[in-house]
Amino acid sequence: MPKSPPVRPRVLLVDDDVALRMSLEFSLDLEGFEVLALESGEALLLVQSLPVEGACLVLDQNLPGVTGVETLRQLRARGVTLPALLITSHPPPGVREAAKAHGARIVEKPLLGDALTAHIVQAIEQSAV
C-alpha cells in the first residue's frame, strides 16, 4: 500500500503588502509549510473551512479595513483557537495588550532571518501539547 504524503503544517498569512506577502509565501513554502496567503482580514474572515490544528495564523496588524487584532478578535469569537502571530513594527501598548488578550504573540518587523519560521514552528508545537 502506498504511503500517504506527510501532512505539511499550514500557515494562514494575511498581509496587504503584495511584495511582502509573496516573499513570505515563497519562503514559508520552501520551509515546508502549506500557505494560504490573503490580502485582508476580511478575506480571512470569509474562509469557510479553517483548519482546527496543525496550523498558525500570521496576521499583519496594520491592514486596511479590519486590523490584525480585530480579525483575530472576530475569529476567537467564532471559536477559532489556532495559534496566532501578529506581525507589526513598533506596536503601541494597546496593541500588545490586545494581542496578548487574544493569545497572539507579536513578531516585530523587519522579519529577519528565520525568526518568523521559528515562531510559527514553536506556536504550532505548543498548540499540539
Q: Could you tell me if residue 4 is inside a domain?
A: no
Is the CB of residue 14 less than 8 Å from the CB of residue 58? yes
Rounded (10°) CA dihedral 9, 12, 17, 19:
30
| Residue 111 identity | L
The count of structural domains within the chain is: 1
pLDDT, position 7: 80
pLDDT for residue 26 is more than 70:
yes
pLDDT for residue 4 is more than 80:
no
Q: Could you tell me if residue 2 is inside a domain?
A: no
Share of the chain above pLDDT 70, in %: 95
Q: 37-61: per-residue pLDDT in tens?
A: 999 999 999 999 999 999 999 999 9
Q: Could you tell me if residue 34 is inside a domain?
A: yes
Q: Which domain holds residue 21?
A: 10-127
Element housing 18 (H / E): helix 18-30
Domain CATH number, residue 61: 3.40.50.2300
Q: Could you tell me if residue 39 is inside a domain?
A: yes
- CA dist 14 to 35, 48, 97, 128, Å? 10, 16, 20, 22
Q: Could you tell me if residue 104 is inside a domain?
A: yes
Is the CB of residue 85 less than 8 Å from the CB of residue 56? yes
pLDDT for residue 6 is more than 80:
no
Q: Could you tell me if residue 97 is inside a domain?
A: yes
Q: Could you tell me if residue 3 is inside a domain?
A: no
Q: Could you tell me if residue 5 is inside a domain?
A: no
Q: 62-83: per-residue pLDDT in tens?
A: 999 999 999 999 999 999 999 9
Q: 86-122: per-residue pLDDT in tens?
A: 999 999 889 999 999 999 999 999 888 899 999 999 9
User: Directed axis angle between helix 115-127 and helix 18-30, to 10°?
Assistant: 60
